[in-house]
Structure 1
Amino acid sequence: MPSLPATRTRNSLVAIGWAPRARRRASAKLALQKALVQNTIAAHDRPFPPTLIRRKTLKAAGVRVSAALGWHAAARTPVAKVRALMQALRPLDPGIELMRLGPHGDGGYLVPDDLDGIRYAFSPGVSSESGFEAALAERGMHVFLADASVDGPATSHPRFMFDKRFVGCLTDERYITLDDWHAAKLGDDPAELLLQMDVEGAEYETLLAASPKLLAKFRIMIVELHSLPQLWNEPFFAVASRMFAKVLQSHAVVHIHPNNCCGSVKSAGLEIPRIAEFTFLRRDRLRSMAYRTTFPHPLDRPNVAKAPLHLPPCWYT
């Protein structure tokens, strides 16, 4: 915060927006109370029905409270747009069996049994579980891992190579793009690749920043998508839908597994998991274009020890 002259008073700090959070909340509460009183008094002078009075009072109060807290409402995405995106993401049956790699819980994923010839895997987002990466390494892949929040993978393996960095849309001391990471490790090597990414929301910017040439090298991509109910928020939808459109140019969705850690949101007849694991297969590897019509898959497992969350039918019917 910039330095202030000694003559600045506490009230002047409030006036320019530097009040402590508790003070701002108190101001918001007072604004709500005043709005309710003022609008209720004003309503008695107008011949409006009681229901309309309550609606107008609450709306006006909500506007004042939002302004006091610095909140700004975003436009809601039309239902037709959300439904169309879900249809574009409808999982295909690739004509290849799916198999499970990694733990029988969080950190394990379903992938097409099409791993022969894949020599390298990139796995940004390490956290405390490396069972999936270990399974890839045991199959002969060299696995590149990256995560600035830990000092290394949870387990060691001679085929693991770790970088203490986050992936993102730019490269600096703390972040690296997928293209720069690939170039640093493999240069111009045309080898087939696998991507497994769980980066707590950074997947959108990371994939948007990746070149189509690099994405086409990934035969299989497993990406955990976060904040999916924000698709109802039009600015978020604009970003997420462009990311999906980019990936779908070269890949198809072949499996979706909701993470049961965080539940789902129902709205307008659609149910959207808060977090879901998407498995993509490059389109030239597809042996079938039929849609998958049965969920969950027999190999699906809950991520955490609570009630399972199956993929809602609106995603595959």
Structure 2
Amino acid sequence: MQNLEKLLEKLNQKLEYNNQLNYQILMSNIITNLDIDKKDKQILLLLLQNRDRNFIRINDNEEIYENITSYLKLFKPLALPLEKLIRVGGKNDGGYVMHQFNGGGDCVKALSLGVSDYSPWDLEMAQKGFKVIEYDGSIEKGPYNHPNITFYKKFIGTNDDENTITLLQVLKDNNLDEKLPNILQCDIENHEWDMLESVDISLLSKYFSQIIFEFHGLNPEEKDGAQKRLRLLQKINEYFVPIHTHLNNHGKIFYSKGLFWSTTAEVSYLRKNDAKDYENTYRKSGNLIKLDSVTFLSNPEIPLRFI
């Protein structure tokens, strides 16, 4: 029986490898024969590396292109001077570009929703003096032993029970001072949309000067899903303005009429009241030298182009 199970496992592995190989060959032929910019073609071919469960989709359908451009318009960041930006949490996955700040202290809090065994943003914020408050139900304890970090083993959800807690309850429990420049960082693997739908987003602008999201599920081919996400992003933009956007280079990648897109994007926002000193000008492209870094080193950076 065990031998049979091992044999089936090997066969499944070979089938999976064969499917991946066939996909690579198919997509290589499609991309090679596309009538597009040579540099774009090269990037798409390089992105075929290490695709595993993810995919590259070439889709010039008008509705898909419109969804991508709608996302790009909502994510288009202010053209802040580079000296006003800082990267916290190191390079690659787990680091985020933010607006410069004066450090923590005086009970300034950094709320971190979604934690793993490697959460460098949390540690660096704690080292800068912020009171970092972590929430995640998928691990037994926080990854760092630091006096400025408090960990709660709970998922962020739409109701309060033994395993989950709402964002509204989090705000109440931690007594955030609305006069202080608190910061929110959220990476909760596609649950951010239900969280945003269940909370009054004006509360976020009341308590946080900056919010940072890793958005998931940004698939432009999902009609209903795209409309829901675009609606919630519009609500965020009523109170905050993007100051940095970066596409994850390991997720599902789309290419439509010269625009690259990913189903996962990191977006940093500054509260509108705190952005008044900057002119109403926006970046034409999103990748910033010395600030941006690829999420996964095995894949090339994805060009971010704004309409």
TM-score, reference length from structure 1: 0.69
Q: 1:190: how far off?
A: 4.6
Q: 2:190 aligns with which of 198, 201, 204?
A: 201
Show structure 2 runs of 5+ residues with no match: 1-61
1:35-184 to structure 2, matched below 5 A, reads 77=63, 79-95=65-81, 97-116=84-103, 119-184=108-173
Q: Aligned letter for 2:296?
A: V
Counterparts of 2:177 and 2:87 in 1: how far apart (Å)? 31
SS of corresponding position for 1:92:
coil
2:293 corresponds in structure 1 to: 301
Counterparts of 2:241 and 2:176 in 1: how far apart (Å)? 27
Counterparts of 1:107 and 1:188 in 2: how far apart (Å)? 26
Shift in alpha-carbon separation, 1:237–1:182, aligned structure 2, 3 A: same
1:290 corresponds in structure 2 to: 281
Shift in alpha-carbon separation, 1:115–1:221, aligned structure 2, 3 A: farther
Which entry has the higher C-alpha Rg, 1 or 2?
A: 1
SS of corresponding position for 2:139:
coil
Q: 1:232: how far off?
A: 2.6
Is 1:130–1:153's contact at 8 Å kept on the other side of the alignment? no
How many positions carry a matched residue from both structures? 239
Tell me which stretches of 4 or more aligned residues in structure 1 moved more than 6 Å.
none
SS of corresponding position for 1:291:
coil
Counterparts of 1:81 and 1:260 in 2: how far apart (Å)? 19
1:234-273 to structure 2, matched below 5 A, reads 234-267=223-256, 269-273=258-262
Q: 1:267: how far off?
A: 3.3
Q: Aligned letter for 2:77?
A: P
Q: 1:270: how far off?
A: 3.6
Q: 1:86: how far off?
A: 2.1
Q: 1:188: how far off?
A: 6.7
Shift in alpha-carbon separation, 1:238–1:165, aligned structure 2, 3 A: same
Q: 1:157: how far off?
A: 0.8
Shift in alpha-carbon separation, 1:297–1:78, aligned structure 2, 3 A: closer
Identity of matched residues, %: 27
Q: 1:192: how far off?
A: 2.8
Counterparts of 2:260 and 2:131 in 1: how far apart (Å)? 38
SS of corresponding position for 1:277:
strand
Residue 302 of structure 2 corresponds to residue 310 of structure 1 = yes
Shift in alpha-carbon separation, 1:242–1:268, aligned structure 2, 3 A: same
Structure 1, 243-252 or 189-198: larger mean CA deviation: 189-198
2:48 corresponds in structure 1 to: none
Structure 1, 179-188 or 78-87: larger mean CA deviation: 78-87
Q: 1:152: how far off?
A: 1.9
Shift in alpha-carbon separation, 1:97–1:308, aligned structure 2, 3 A: farther
Q: 1:259: how far off?
A: 1.6
Residue 215 of structure 2 corresponds to residue 225 of structure 1 = yes
Q: 1:115: how far off?
A: 4.6
Higher relative contact order (CA 8 A, sep 6+): 2
SS of corresponding position for 1:237:
helix
Counterparts of 1:309 and 1:126 in 2: how far apart (Å)? 25
Question: How big is each residue's C-alpha offset from its partner over 1:262-297, in whole Å with a ceiling of 9 and x where there is no partner?
Answer: 251123554211211111111111123211234421
Is 1:77–1:237's contact at 8 Å kept on the other side of the alignment? no
SS of corresponding position for 1:186:
coil
Q: 1:82: how far off?
A: 4.3
TM-score, reference length from structure 2: 0.71
